[in-house]
Structure 1
Amino acid sequence: MKAFIVIFRFKKPGDKAAGPVQQYRIYARDLREAWDLARQQGGYPGIELLNVVEA
């Protein structure tokens, strides 16, 4: 398992612009699995996935 950093931005309802860029760490076998996990975990309204990079 490798560590990957998910970079995302969250926009609250009613705000004009999205908030600051934030990040969290996930563990996956490869980059494709990391993107799949990021899409599953970030599939909420207002979350914009920007990138997934290897840590």
Structure 2
Amino acid sequence: MTPPQVARRLRVSRMPAYAWHARWRNGGVTTLRSKRQRGRPPRADRPGSPPGHTPTAR
């Protein structure tokens, strides 16, 4: 299956499909496993947030 076919099937753009294909080609299936998310955590998960707190849209 080609990256464009994967992209159509998963309903994503071709860019991530090509990135996944390159990772698979360079390191196999284990490189496709989810990695820890980067960036700032959502507000509700931050330490010190009140229990049940959900951020409101502005």
TM range (shorter): under 0.3
Between Structure 1 and Structure 2, which shows a larger proportion of strand residues?
1
Q: Higher helix share goes to which structure?
A: 2
- Say which structure, 1 or 2, has more relative contact order (CA 8 Å, 6+ apart): 1
- Report the TM-score when normalising by structure 1: 0.25
Give the TM-score of the pair, scaled to structure 2. Answer: 0.24
